[in-house]
Amino acid sequence: MKIHFLGTAAAEGFPNPFCRCEACRKARSLGEKNIRTRSSILIDDVIKVDYSADSHMQALRDRIDLGAVEHLLFTHTHYDHFQPSDLYNRIEGFAHGIDHPLHIYGNDAAICQSGMALGQVAGSNRFAFHLLRPFETISLGNTKITPLLANHDQLETCLLFYIEKGGKTLFYGNDTGWLHDDTWAWLKGKVIDMAILDCTHSFTNNVRNPNHMGIETVLEVQRIWKEEGILDGNGLIYVTHFTHNSGFLHDDFESAFRPFGIQVAYDGLIVDL
């Protein structure tokens, strides 16, 4: 699997363009890996997870052909992950040379709101909609996706994804705090070759944060996964979804995680699993 990190920031971006805090000022000054857009990944150039308002710019920056994307998975409908109205640009007359529908997957809120945002064109041959149910595996060609429960917004069924292809497994764990009990139970006996984990916060003095993880939470998840054999010595963890409110820049997160072998993702990073 080829995993392309399109964005690695929390909802407001990093730096937040409206913000004058010290972390945002430093990020603007230092640039490079400290400039982060809203979180999303692209798998093998054809499966995209989430679609933020930054998707257009990310595609231009990394020279991505969004017309080649076949499947779009939504984790939930918070605005930094969910901008379905932008998909209107894929309709007949706006986008040429498209020979396949974009298959859109999500919870009932994501599917309903996507249809409403697209209006009449939602029923065209450019789009197809699929309702996801937690713990029910679906197949996208030779890739298997199992939606898992996140611990995030208590008013929405937010999803994480366990992705299997070619004998490798990817756990997409963003947005979530301490994992949902049902997700912990489902992962028993499973193997994760690479995990992408939410690390919105830096140090919080609370291992079992709800909604979002911090450094301590990520380290505790790693510890338990290793104890239970879910993550072996070759298993990779990449952290993402950083907020400027953490006060940590890229190098700060790298310093915190380096002793534990955890990698800090950045916009444009490509990992071959």
Q: Does residue 210 register a pLDDT over 90?
A: no
Write the single-letter amino acid at 122: A
247 token code pair: 């006060």
pLDDT at 273 over 90: yes
Mean pLDDT over the full length of the chain: 97
Average pLDDT over residues 17-45: 98
Strand order from edge to edge, sheet including 71-73 = 127-131, 102-106, 71-73, 47-49, 40-43, 2-7, 270-272
Question: Do the beta carbons of residue 58 and residue 86 sit within 8 Å?
Answer: no
- pLDDT at position 209, please? 84
Q: Name the percent of the chain lying above pLDDT 70.
A: 100
Query: For residue range 160-207, what is the model confidence (pLDDT) as tens digits?
Result: 999 999 999 999 999 999 999 999 999 999 999 999 999 999 999 888
* H or E, element range at 195: strand 194-198
Burial of residue 67, with CB atoms counted within 10 A of its CB: 0-12 exposed, 13-18 middle, 19 or more buried? middle
Per-residue pLDDT tens over the stretch 213-254: 999 999 999 999 999 999 988 999 999 999 999 999 999 999
On the CB side of 170, CA atoms within 13 Å amount to 24
| Domain 2-272: assigned CATH number | 3.60.15.10
| Long-range pairs for 223-232: beta carbons < 8 A, 24 or more residues apart | 225/187, 225/192, 225/195, 228/188, 229/191, 230/187, 230/188, 230/190, 230/191, 230/192, 231/191, 231/192, 231/195, 232/191
Q: Which amino acid is at 215?
A: I
Closest CA to 147 of 106, 188, 177: 106
Q: What is the pLDDT of residue 233?
A: 85
Q: What is the pLDDT of residues 1-21, one digit of tens each?
A: 999 999 999 999 999 999 999
- Kind and range of the H or E run holding 42: strand 40-43
Question: What does residue 210 show for φ and ψ, rounded to 5 degrees?
Answer: -85, 165
Question: What are the extents of the domains in the chain?
Answer: 2-272
Neighbouring CB atoms inside 10 A of 103's CB total 17
pLDDT (tens digit per residue) in 115-132: 999 999 999 999 999 999
Calculate mean pLDDT across residues 60-83. Answer: 98
| Token pair of 256 as six digits | 């915190």
- What is the rounded CA–CA span in Å between residue 4 and residue 268? 7
- The pLDDT-based confidence of 36 (bands split at 50, 70, 90) is very high
